[in-house]
Amino acid sequence: MSDLVFYTNPMSRGRIIRWMLEEVGQPYETKVLTWETGEAKGADYLAINPMGKVPAIVHDGVVVTECAAICAYLADAFPQAGLAPPAQSRLRGPYYRWLFFGAGPIEQAVAAKMVNLEPTIEQRSSLGYGSMEDVLAAVEGAVENRTYLVGDSFTAADLYLASHLSWGMNFGTIERRPAFEAYAERHLQRPAALRADEIDNALLAAAAQPSA
């Protein structure tokens, strides 16, 4: 078994981590959990992630779940990939800010939209994201006319945000705006992103084939 194991399903947020792993460039083993067989809710996987959700990784015995946490962990575990500012850099602050903005306000706003929850003006003050418009305005300000979120190089924060924007615009949970489209498309053309898509699309195609 590899010392880096990736638990995923190609129709999940695991696609974000596949891209991250391809950027890291280290050998890893993929374990696909199928929804139909309920593997993610089986005892073996629940011992890894009690939530029964993918993705998750196990690296040298260390379990990491939650997409933003996995991205942050991998960037630090493999610094040679250059996916995070150095530990003592002042850029570490905005890097964490936008990485976890994706995990917090964007995730919350998109989830609310998916279940047709539109908070009232009174409720917005109690919600971490305020409103979808607040979230989109903040993101637009961060990416408009900029190549990278932090400094002058690609980081895990760019990977995470570009993934969210692409997914949301494709499925209609995030409004299409020129700044979002330009930012996401630029990063989705990275070789690692294209490799990751090819791998996961092949898994989807294989799963769609009728069994013999």
Domain ranges for the chain: 4-82+193-208, 92-190
**pLDDT (0 to 100) of residue 205:** 92
Q: CA–CA separation, 125 vs 120, rounded Å?
A: 9
**pLDDT (0 to 100) of residue 49:** 97
Q: CA–CA separation, 6 vs 21, rounded Å?
A: 9
**pLDDT (0 to 100) of residue 45:** 96
SS3 content of the chain, % helix, strand, coil (to 5): 55, 10, 35
* pTM, to two decimals: 0.93
Q: CA–CA separation, 78 vs 63, rounded Å?
A: 16
Tell me if 156 sits within 8 A of 71, measured CB to CB: yes
**pLDDT (0 to 100) of residue 212:** 53
Region 79-95 average pLDDT: 97
What would the pLDDT profile of 18-35 be if each residue is shown by its tens digit? 999 999 999 999 999 998
pLDDT of residue 1 exceeding 70, the answer is no
What would the pLDDT profile of 131-157 be if each residue is shown by its tens digit? 899 999 999 999 999 999 999 999 999
Region 80-107 average pLDDT: 96
Topology of domain 4-82+193-208 in CATH is Glutaredoxin (3.40.30)
Of 76, 33, 74, 78, nearest to 55 by C-alpha is 33
**pLDDT (0 to 100) of residue 77:** 97
Q: CA–CA separation, 37 vs 16, rounded Å?
A: 23
Sequence letter at residue 161: L
pLDDT of residue 8 exceeding 80, the answer is yes
**Which position has the token pair 């309920």?**
38
CA 77 to chain centre: 17
User: Ranked by mean pLDDT, which of 113-117, 202-206, 208-212 comes out on top?
Assistant: 202-206
pLDDT of residue 211 exceeding 70, the answer is no
When the pLDDT of each residue in the chain is averaged and rounded to a whole number, the result is 94
Of 67, 53, 71, nearest to 103 by C-alpha is 67
Ranking 7-11, 86-90, 121-125 by mean pLDDT, the lowest is 121-125
**pLDDT (0 to 100) of residue 127:** 75
**pLDDT (0 to 100) of residue 208:** 81
The phi and psi torsions of 126 (rounded to 5 degrees) equal -95, -5
Specify the DSSP class assigned to residue 212: -
Q: CA–CA separation, 140 vs 209, rounded Å?
A: 40
For 92-190, CATH number out of 1.20.1050.10, 1.10.599.10, 3.40.50.300, 1.20.58.110 equals 1.20.1050.10
Query: Residue 159: pLDDT band by 50, 70, 90 thresholds?
Result: very high
